[in-house]
Amino acid sequence: MAATSTNHSVLLTAAKVAAPFDKEVRESLKQLDRPPTLVAILSTSSSASRTYANFAKSQCDNLGVKFVLKEVGAGRWKEEDEGPKSKEFGAEGEGVEEAIVEANEDDECDGILVFYPIFGGRQDHYLQQLVSPFKDVEGLHYKWHYNMYHNIRFVDPNLLNSTNTVLPPTPVQANDIPPSGTLKSILPCTPLAIIKCLEHAGVYNQLLKYGDRAFGKTVTVINRSEVVGRPLAALLANDGARVFSVDIDSIQEYTKRPKVVSPTKEEEVASDETTKRPQKRMFHPSHIVQGCKVTLEECLALSDVVVSAVPNVKYKVSTDALKDGCIAVNVAGEKNFEESVREKVIIVCIAILQVTSLMVLGINLPSSGGQSDDLDAPPKPYTFGQVSGGTKGFNIPATTSIDVVGGP
């Protein structure tokens, strides 16, 4: 009998993953007094940022969200324009700070989307903190970052005005419905879009309680970047998964169930450092980060899901090192997996940008109807689209695609 191909992967398109969110957003928009307004700020001549601006406008027009693009500085330059970019149109990043302040103070503006990178480093970080947390659809403000890493899933909007409020982690509960008077915290959208794909692929166990549905799964995330890698590892670990976060010089374990040494009385007084002590797993309300001595190959062999976000065309994850039937997620613009990867997996998901944009437009676009009559009160936040938990914006390269390959 002739040999047949071992490639039995099934294509899972982003449209299938995005469909329920698209429907929910449309239904929720019908209940509003007016269409929400998203102000997008483009301040560089980056073709990637321009592409994302065009895509964002297309998505907003399709859903019925008012999209206002503010082009400042070099952001006014287009590829069809001739001549030096900086002389006629302004320098890279020129006017971006003023545009953010203006949007913060505009009662007709419900959400702010800034296309990064602009200056890079600490100057971009400053701009991210300048955006009001009430209008931040990207989840880049430090309040949202703190909530994400400390597993604070719901927040009272009135507390966003406080500079020193520290909330406890959200306990595991039956569902994801926010308690009365609260809304879901804003989460980064690219990691969240990946999680939505994993949910669709059956990685999350819906029989378990909300906040622990990834329990029993092991995930490896390659490249501990601040845009995707580190927040994704934290989100997965806060959902109960055991996560290996792999970077160029270290491997860390993220988990809510870290192993701790439980010495016996005899071992407590023993001087022999080689004495082996029993270990237990202790449950924490939010994830703990620990160093670990396992190799990348050992992580891959254990992992039900492997996410790679290495921006290097030469980097490839070895197919032989992968666990049979695992899910491989390619987040980088380059293909981080070998062509043979589909011989080990059963599901392929591509073109995740549609899911990412819906995480922004359907989850994080705050405030409908402008400012409250009480000038000291926070803007009235949206309650639509809150089923997914939050999101982040368009600050990854335009060439970036996410391929999810595998099966639970």
Q: 189, 197, 299, 326: which one is catalytic?
A: 189
* Close Cβ partners of 170 (under 8 Å, ≥ 6 residues apart): 151, 152, 153, 154, 211, 285
What is the C-alpha to C-alpha distance for residues 264 and 270, in angstroms, rounded to an integer?
10
Cis (ω within 30 of 0) for the bond into 231? Answer: no
Torsion over CA: 186, 188, 190, 194 (sign): negative
Helices (H) and strands (E) counted in the chain, each on its own, are 11, 16
Taking each helix axis as running N to C, give the angle between helix 229-238 and helix 189-200, from 0 to 180 degrees, rounded to the nearest 10: 50
Between the alpha carbon of residue 74 and those of residues 71, 79, 80, 118, 373, the distances in Å are 8, 11, 14, 10, 38
DSSP of 135-191 = TBSS--SHHHHHHHHTT--EE-GGGGG-SS--PPPPPPBSS-PPPTT-EEPP--HHH
Residue 299 among the catalytic residues: no
Residue 332 in 3-state DSSP? Answer: coil
- Which residues on neighbouring strands pair with residue 254, listed in sequence order? 243, 289
- Which residues on neighbouring strands pair with residue 155, listed in sequence order? 183
Q: Which residues are catalytic?
A: 189
